[in-house]
Structure formats: structure tokens, C-alpha cells
Chain A
Amino acid sequence: MSVLLEGSTTSATMRRNFWRGVWRVMRRKPSRLAGAVILLGFAVMAVFGPMFYPEHLPRDLAAGVYAQPSAEHWFGTDGQGRDVVALVVTGSRYVLLSALVTAVVTVVLGAAIGLFAGFRRGRWDTALMRLTDMKLTIPGLPLLLVLSTIWKFGSAVEMGLLLGLLGWGAVARAVRAQTLSLRERGFIEAARGLGLSTTHIVGKELLPSMAPYVAMNMLIAVTGAVYAQVGLFFLGVLPYEADNWGVMLNLAVFGGGAMTTTAALPYMLAPLLAILLLTLGIVLVVDAMDEIFNPRLREE
């Protein structure tokens, strides 16, 4: 939610405040540490996990299809007799890579446009904000549905790129508002008065003070991206990839009868739990960041 930045701080004091904030939050709410651990775990899983499995996941013919959870298969097997955990791990790469691309595109575009509009003001500001308004007006998921018919989303990067291109509006608007508010406080004029260049003002003064806000938005963008792409695959409007969380959900519900019998239930629950866990991790970290950077939430 709204993070209001208090006054201007130089980067040195900021850094000190930051670590003090981290320390305070971690001491007061150790559960927040869990969030960071979860996110780290997912990152490791997406980067290194698939390396532990062969290119084509083997079938366990002895266990059979939709096998129930066992020591060997924690979440049973899928409709082909493949290990569900292995599918979740190998599938995490697509999901997280595209989420990362989305987050980067969202934040870079959003921050750049927001900064530019807020800094320049005037005609540029009006034009860019009209564009942003328009983007925010076009409903995201319905647009994705329509786009899914012409775009095949073969790679995770493509998918992430598209989601990012559709999603920068909110960040841009918020960053612009922040820039304007900093500007109103005479922040920029003061820097100008000191003879600092525009690059310096933007790069050294404006951006750092907005960094935590931008980072939080990045994490929120990650949840949004995971939500959207897994959902599209779940709806079955996209060509499927054998090991993708959304495809797993789709196959479990519409092919395996996970809503009907318990046989395919573990197959459905595994990606659901992965999504839940990832969301929980992000929520905890965002909450911690909120506490660190939003002084009004501090209880001192």
C-alpha cells in the first residue's frame, strides 16, 4: 500500500537506517525471516532444480498413473506416471523466469516513465499519463485472453515480456506521484541550487529514495505475473508445456478429475501449494520491507 517517504536522506544514512530497520524487524517479527528463506528456496529451485532431472522425466510404471503419495513420490504421480514433485521443480523455471522478466520490465518501464513524467511535467507529463490511464483502463485478464489467440507464448521470456508490457501502468503512476511530491518539497530545486546535474539528481537522489518502494512493487509484480500466466495455462487457452504449474492444474482438474475423486488430488495440490508458498514468501518480505521503510508503521 501507500508508502510515504519521509524527507530527503542521503544514501549513507539511508543505508545505515536500512540495516537498522532490517535488524529491528527481524528481531521483532522473526516470521519475516521465513519469507526471505522461502523466496531464496524458490530461486534455488528454479535455477538449479531442473539440473537434477533428465530432459524427459522418466515414468514410474511400477507406481502407475495418479499414484498416491508415498516416500518415493511425495505428491504421487501424474496421469503418465511421472513424479509430481519433479514436475513442480522443473516447471518452476518457466514460472519464475517469466515472473522475473515481468517484474524487471514492469519496474524499469514504470519507474522510467513515472520519473520522466514527474520530472519533466508539462506536455510530456500529460501525454504519458493519458497513456498510463488508458493502459490502466484496459482490463488485463480479458486482454490477455484475447491476445492468447494470436500470441503463442512459446518461451518464458516472451510471456514475461508481454505481462510486463501490460503491467507497468500502476508503477508509473505511483512513481510519478512520488516524484511530484519530492519535487514539491523543494527537493529538486535544492539539488539544482547546489549545481547538481539532472543525471545526478535522478540517479543519486531520486532513485535511491524510491528504491524500496520500487522493489516492493517488483515483488508484487512477481505475484501478479505468476497469477496471470499460471491462470492462462489453467484455463487452457495457451498451448501447453508438459511441466508447467498451470498445465498441471488444468490436466488435474479437467483431465484427471481432481475435483471429482481423490486420485488426482495430490497432482492438483502440488502446484497449488507451490503458488501458495511463493505468495506467502512474497507477502512476508513485502511486509518486512514496508515496516523497514515506512516510518509511520514503526512503533518506537
Chain B
Amino acid sequence: MKRLAAVVALLGLATGTACSGGSTDPSGSGGGGLFTTIDVTRPGIDANAPANPFNPKGNVFRGYNEIRLAYSKNHLTDPNVFYPGAATSWEIAPDNSSITVKLPPNGKWSDGKPLTAEDVKLSIGIAYTQGSTAFAITPGAAGAAAEVTVVDPTTIKVTQDMSNPSAKFARGVMDTIVVPAHVWGGVLPADFWDKLKASRGTGPVADKAREEITGLGQKIIAFRPEKDVSGGPFTLARVNPGEALLVRNKNFYNASKIAPAQVKFLNYTGNEQIWNYLIAGKLDHSGFTAVPTDVMNRIKQAPGAQVVRGFSPVSVGMAFNQSKKPYDNVHVRRGLAYLIDREQVTKTASPEGGTPAATTSGIHQRPAAEWLGDEAGTLEPYKFDKAKAEAEFKAAGLRQKDGRWALPDGSPWKVSMTAPAGFSDWISAQENIKSQLIENGVDAEVVTVADYPLYLEEIAAGKYDVGFWLLALGPAPYDIYQRLYGASNGWTNVAGKIRHSPAGKDGNWMGSAETIDVEGIGKINPGELTGKLNNVGAEEAKPIMVKLAKAANQDLPAIQLWDYVNAQFVNTGRFTGWPGEDSDLLRWPAGVWMQQGLLKAKR
């Protein structure tokens, strides 16, 4: 009996110390206090990873201890307006042929060394090895840079190769991550810029040069700086497997405006952890994550909790594999569009993070108004309508048998939708669609596959009848439509030339017809039109966007279900001055907001 008592006492001791550990409240040091956040784009904090922004696990956090030349404003139609980053002013040639970037004269790295144009040039060299829109070594890539010239220690000029220009050129340049040359200098060989020149040509020499540059890319990803030398508002202090601590960078040119003295990044592996942190009021900021309605209500009850909503240029659609019957028939696709109540789907699947799609246009409804103007009203909205669905199914030759729709030859028809396990909003949307379809006489099933990598491999191989697919990934017009009329639908863009592969070849799993006869417009080749979007300005793009929207609306390669909303969670308890509703800063991490002088510590 004595021993049992001892064990019980021991147990009590263990929980006792645990509780006392819980009550110690570490207070942040320095003025402005501690800012606690989660990087939702990157689950998992790895204590072993280097302070390297190019490493997928690197302990460099966007906007905090990483700095880019500038941050795109995410204007609905103009890709070339920016917030300052490492660069504080810039000039873009009217024809987009060049951009001249000015750095602030007092710019410094966190170790006190000046931040100069040479740092930017090295960073551009690194960008070539990592894949970038403006700094691409693929021959003939659209919007590639031609020359990089250091004008003076705070000025650098980049010209565009005008043989295949892109309206997004300046955006591509500004997106460059700037790293210190005195730390990173060794990663590029002395003859790097000669190699780059060589890689632009054709033939074996150029091929070899390209291969070498790609090889450098791997070396750079694996590079381990001895310590974090940051150009951003914070510097990495330490990391453990669950959390990372950043401290204010006194040498940041805008340091006086940075409110928090310390930033703590919490690890997360599942959304439910973020929900718990938010309900406990622990986080000052968290990016968007799918939240069920009840959880959202609890989050809003936390003191100081607030949700700021903005635009997110992403939509999700139910995409068809037109090589499979009966989805090759446009009337079947339209009938399904009439039969699915998108509002109900959105309410079940993404009540806070989505708005039901107004219609299928291939564009998120917010920019759709800008791009399409009055034409947006002429699109068929595909409101829930059982009678119209019936008419379409009949037009497709489907037959009703015992209250169920069957294929023209009388064999049973089952709409089989696939989603990757773990995508809870997609699965619950498909479950909802399944229930809706079954209640309206169309048999349906939901199949899940283990995970996203497998899903992507199998969907590209044409294994699924119907799957969910992200659409409208803007804001650049080409990016928006290449989701519907790009490689997954047969049109590949090689060096500015559009080539079409037949269904089932080269990753073409959607299998739309190469040309579509659009009502009121005539025959168009949507893939070629999409390709054109790369090289034109906003005004020229508008008529093309109208054609493509009408084509997508009429031909329905996918049924647009809901448009995502960028809901950001903030807490006004410790910091104020958050960006407002619909701010174009919301798409950037809070570190960028701080760089712009937002956020004040509450006293």
C-alpha cells in the first residue's frame, strides 16, 4: 500500500510541476511587446532548417525577415502597382521595356552593412536559378529580362527582352527576394553572368549552361548562412520544433515604424490548432484558414478578435474530363450546372471563406466586373432550375428510368467526383453536391484519394470523371485563364507559341474541343486567346477576356462553384491600426503591413 501511495504522490508531483510551469507567464522584452502569429502557407516549423528564403522549410518568414524589392498591390486589373519593399521608388517605361529601381540611401542589413544595388544584382542572379517570371532561362519565355545594369550604388535598371514581352514584367522584377551579397556572394560562380548569356542561345553550349544554372539552384536551396542577416523588419533569433522567435531589426530603414519588439511564430499542422489558438485569443494575426460556422462564432467571441475580409483571386470549380461519357456532351454539363445549388454548397463547405460563384466565367466575381463590364450581365447565371436541367439532359439524350437519369443506351449513370483526403472543404462540398444530385434523380458518389500529390497525378492522367480544380488564379489575366485553357486542357505555351495536344496527351485531361463556336462571337480558339493575354495591356485584354468568359460560360469545361474570400484573423487587444476591409495589403503577410508602417502597439 505504501508503494501505491508513493506512486500517487509522484503522479501528483508531476502534474503539480506541470501546472506551475503553465502559470509562468513570460513577458516580452523591449517596447512594443510581442506579436504572435502563424504562417498559414507553411505548416510545420523545422528547427534544423537553414535561414534561407529559397529553402522550402527555411526559417525565413515572408515579410518579416525576408525582403522583396517591392510588393504588388494586387490591383484587380493592373499588375504593375506596388508597395515599397527594399526599393522605395521606381520608374517603369510606358511600354514596359524597362524598370529602374531606387533603393533608399540609408538602407542597411541587420548586421549594419549597407544594402546596395550589388546585393540586388546578386539576388537577381539567384532568382535566375530558382525560377522567376522575369528572370527565366527558358528560351523565349514571355516577359524575360534582357539586361541587368547597376547604375549607381542605390539604382539598378532591368530591361525586358521585347521579342516576347509581357505586361507583368515589372511585377516579375519586383517579386525578387533580396539577400545580402556579403553572405550569399559565394553561391554564384564568378563567371555566372557569362554563363547566363551563354544560356540564352540555342545548341549544346546553351543547354549545358542552362543545366549548370539549374544545378546552382539546388546548391542555393541547400545553402546554410551562418546566421540570419535580414533586410526585413525582423531578424531570426531562435527556433525550436514548434516555434520561432524573431526580434526587431534595428537597422531596417523603416525601423521606427515597426511596432512589435518580438515576433513569435507558432507551428501548426492542422487547421484545428489555429482555431484553438484563435479562440484562446493567443494570436495577433493569422492568415486565412477554413473555419466551420460554429468555430467562427466562438472565435469572434474572443476578446479583441476581428475578421478582416479581402479579395482572394481564387475560385474552385467542378471540372469535367470530357473524354469520359456523358461529360463530352455540353448539355450534360449544363444540366448539372442547373441542378447544383451553389449557395447551398458554399454554405456547407466554406461558409466564411467563400461566396457562391455568380456564374461560371472563369474569373472571380470581383475582378469579373472590371474585366467584363456590362457583358458580365449577359452571361447565363445557371441558377438552380430543375426544369431547365431536365430539358438539358433530354437534349443530351439521357433517359429517365425509375426516377433516375440514365445514359442514352439505358445503362446507369453515376456522377463520380474525386477529391484528395484532407481537403475538408472540397470533400464536404462534394458530399453536398452528391446529396443534391441524388435528391434530384442523378446518382452520384464521392471518392477520395490519399492526398494531394496522388490526386494531381491521377487527375492529370485522366483517371477521374469529375474533380475539383482551382480556377481564376489572378490577378494577371493570362494566369486566370490558363487554369481553364492551359496545359490541363491541351494548350501548352512554349516560348510564346501555343500548341494544342489532343485529349489524353501531354497532361490534357479536360479534353475540350480545340475551337468553340461561341454565340454572338463565332469560332474561337480559347487556348490561343489565352496565350495572347500574356503580351497585352489591360485595355487590350478586356475584349479577349469577354470572349473567354463567354466561351467558358457556354461550354462549361468546369462549373465554377465558389469564389474564395481572403478572411484574415486579427486581434485588436494588443495592436491596433490593422488594414481595413478589402485592403489590397491583405494578400501579403502581416510583416509587409508593418513594413508599410501599419500596426501600433496598444498602450
**With A80-B348, A80-B431, A257-B292 in contact, do A236 and B421 touch (Cβ < 8 Å)?**
yes
Check B438 for interface membership: any CB of A closer than 8 A.
Answer: yes
Q: Which residues of B contact A221 (CB under 8 A)?
A: none
Contact A263 B276 (CB under 8 A): no
Check A73 for interface membership: any CB of B closer than 8 A.
Answer: no
**With A80-B432, A254-B424 in contact, do A260 and B450 touch (Cβ < 8 Å)?**
no
> Which chain B residues numbered 401 to 442 have a C-beta less than 8 Å away from chain A?
421-422, 424, 427-428, 431-432, 434-435, 438-439
**With A257-B275, A261-B298, A263-B294 in contact, do A56 and B448 touch (Cβ < 8 Å)?**
no
Contact B294 A56 (CB under 8 A): no
Contact A263 B292 (CB under 8 A): yes
Contact A236 B295 (CB under 8 A): no
- Min Cβ gap B445→A in Å is 9
Contact B295 A260 (CB under 8 A): yes
- The chain A residue sitting closest to B443, CB to CB, is A56
Q: Is the interface of A mostly helix, strand, loop or mixed?
A: loop
Check B215 for interface membership: any CB of A closer than 8 A.
Answer: no
Count: A-B pairs, CB below 8 Å: 76
Q: Which residues of B contact A238 (CB under 8 A)?
A: 421, 450
Check A191 for interface membership: any CB of B closer than 8 A.
Answer: no
- The chain A residue sitting closest to B295, CB to CB, is A257
A261 to B451 CA separation, bound complex (whole angstroms): 27
- The chain B residue sitting closest to A54, CB to CB, is B438
Check B447 for interface membership: any CB of A closer than 8 A.
Answer: yes
Per-residue contact bits, chain A 61-81, to B (CB 8 Å; 1 contact, 0 not):
000011000000000000110
Contact B292 A239 (CB under 8 A): no
Contact A259 B276 (CB under 8 A): yes
Out of A148, A149, A253, name the residue touching B272 (CB < 8 Å): A253
- The chain A residue sitting closest to B299, CB to CB, is A260
Out of A56, A148, A255, A259, name the residue touching B424 (CB < 8 Å): A255
Per-residue contact bits, chain B 305-343, to A (CB 8 Å; 1 contact, 0 not):
000000000000000000000000000000000000000
A156 to B578 CA separation, bound complex (whole angstroms): 52
Q: Which residues of A contact B438 (CB under 8 A)?
A: 56
A259 to B276 CA separation, bound complex (whole angstroms): 8
Could you say which interface size class chain B belongs to?
Answer: 20 to 34
Check B470 for interface membership: any CB of A closer than 8 A.
Answer: no
Q: Which residues of A contact B431 (CB under 8 A)?
A: 79-80, 242
Check A183 for interface membership: any CB of B closer than 8 A.
Answer: no
A148 to B451 CA separation, bound complex (whole angstroms): 11
A209 to B9 CA separation, bound complex (whole angstroms): 46
Check B183 for interface membership: any CB of A closer than 8 A.
Answer: no
Check A218 for interface membership: any CB of B closer than 8 A.
Answer: no
Q: Which residues of A contact B439 (CB under 8 A)?
A: 59
Check B173 for interface membership: any CB of A closer than 8 A.
Answer: no
Contact B294 A257 (CB under 8 A): yes
Q: Which residues of B contact A255 (CB under 8 A)?
A: 292, 424, 427-428
Contact A256 B292 (CB under 8 A): yes
Contact B272 A240 (CB under 8 A): no
A292 to B211 CA separation, bound complex (whole angstroms): 74
Out of A59, A240, A253, A261, name the residue touching B448 (CB < 8 Å): A240
**With A236-B422, A254-B271 in contact, do A261 and B294 touch (Cβ < 8 Å)?**
yes
Contact B421 A242 (CB under 8 A): no
- Min Cβ gap B319→A in Å is 19
Contact B294 A251 (CB under 8 A): no
Contact A239 B294 (CB under 8 A): no
Q: Which residues of A contact B295 (CB under 8 A)?
A: 257, 260-261, 263
Contact A257 B272 (CB under 8 A): yes
**With A65-B348, A80-B431 in contact, do A237 and B271 touch (Cβ < 8 Å)?**
no
- The chain B residue sitting closest to A259, CB to CB, is B272
Q: Which residues of B contact A285 (CB under 8 A)?
A: none
Per-residue contact bits, chain B 371-391, to A (CB 8 Å; 1 contact, 0 not):
000000000000000000000
**With A238-B450, A239-B449 in contact, do A260 and B275 touch (Cβ < 8 Å)?**
yes
A236 to B454 CA separation, bound complex (whole angstroms): 14
Per-residue contact bits, chain B 509-541, to A (CB 8 Å; 1 contact, 0 not):
000000000000000000000000000000000
Contact B450 A239 (CB under 8 A): yes
- The chain B residue sitting closest to A237, CB to CB, is B450
Q: Which residues of B contact A46 (CB under 8 A)?
A: none
A247 to B447 CA separation, bound complex (whole angstroms): 13
Per-residue contact bits, chain A 260-292, to B (CB 8 Å; 1 contact, 0 not):
110110000000000000000000000000000
A171 to B448 CA separation, bound complex (whole angstroms): 35
Could you say which interface size class chain A belongs to?
Answer: 20 to 34
Contact A264 B450 (CB under 8 A): no
- The chain A residue sitting closest to B435, CB to CB, is A59
Contact B435 A260 (CB under 8 A): no
Check B150 for interface membership: any CB of A closer than 8 A.
Answer: no
Per-residue contact bits, chain B 284-296, to A (CB 8 Å; 1 contact, 0 not):
0000000110110
- The chain B residue sitting closest to A256, CB to CB, is B292
- Min Cβ gap B390→A in Å is 21
Check B136 for interface membership: any CB of A closer than 8 A.
Answer: no
Check B270 for interface membership: any CB of A closer than 8 A.
Answer: yes
Contact B292 A79 (CB under 8 A): yes
Check B592 for interface membership: any CB of A closer than 8 A.
Answer: no
- The chain A residue sitting closest to B422, CB to CB, is A236
Per-residue contact bits, chain B 195-220, to A (CB 8 Å; 1 contact, 0 not):
00000000000000000000000000
- Min Cβ gap A214→B in Å is 35
> Which chain B residues numbered 437 to 480 have a C-beta less than 8 Å away from chain A?
438-439, 446-451, 454
- Min Cβ gap A67→B in Å is 11
Q: Which residues of B contact A254 (CB under 8 A)?
A: 270-272, 422, 424
Contact B446 A242 (CB under 8 A): yes
Check B279 for interface membership: any CB of A closer than 8 A.
Answer: yes
- The chain A residue sitting closest to B447, CB to CB, is A239
Q: Which residues of A contact B446 (CB under 8 A)?
A: 242
- Min Cβ gap B458→A in Å is 11
Contact B447 A80 (CB under 8 A): no
- Min Cβ gap A259→B in Å is 5
Q: Which residues of A contact B275 (CB under 8 A)?
A: 257, 260
- Min Cβ gap B347→A in Å is 9
Per-residue contact bits, chain B 532-557, to A (CB 8 Å; 1 contact, 0 not):
00000000000000000000000000
Contact A260 B272 (CB under 8 A): yes
- Min Cβ gap A143→B in Å is 16
**With A79-B348, A257-B292 in contact, do A148 and B450 touch (Cβ < 8 Å)?**
yes
Q: Which residues of A contact B348 (CB under 8 A)?
A: 65, 79-80
- Min Cβ gap B217→A in Å is 28
Q: Which residues of A contact B294 (CB under 8 A)?
A: 66, 257, 261, 263-264
A80 to B449 CA separation, bound complex (whole angstroms): 20
Q: Which residues of B contact A253 (CB under 8 A)?
A: 272
Q: Which residues of A contact B448 (CB under 8 A)?
A: 239-240
Contact A240 B435 (CB under 8 A): no
Q: Which residues of B contact A264 (CB under 8 A)?
A: 292, 294
A254 to B434 CA separation, bound complex (whole angstroms): 21
Per-residue contact bits, chain A 106-124, to B (CB 8 Å; 1 contact, 0 not):
0000000000000000000
- The chain A residue sitting closest to B291, CB to CB, is A257
A109 to B117 CA separation, bound complex (whole angstroms): 72
- The chain A residue sitting closest to B271, CB to CB, is A254
**What are 19 A-B pairs with beta-carbon distances under 8 A?**
A56-B434, A56-B438, A59-B435, A79-B348, A80-B432, A149-B450, A237-B421, A240-B421, A240-B427, A240-B448, A242-B431, A254-B272, A255-B292, A255-B428, A257-B291, A260-B279, A261-B294, A263-B292, A263-B294
- If A79-B292, A257-B292, A260-B272 are given as contacts, then 7 extra A-B residue pairs at C-beta distance below 8 Å, sorted by A number, are A79-B428, A240-B421, A257-B294, A257-B295, A260-B295, A261-B297, A263-B294
A-to-B contact residues, CB < 8 Å: 56, 59, 65-66, 79-80, 148-149, 152, 236-240, 242, 251, 253-257, 259-261, 263-264
Q: Which 9 A-B pairs have the closest CB atoms?
A: A255-B424, A263-B294, A257-B295, A239-B448, A260-B275, A261-B294, A240-B448, A260-B295, A257-B292
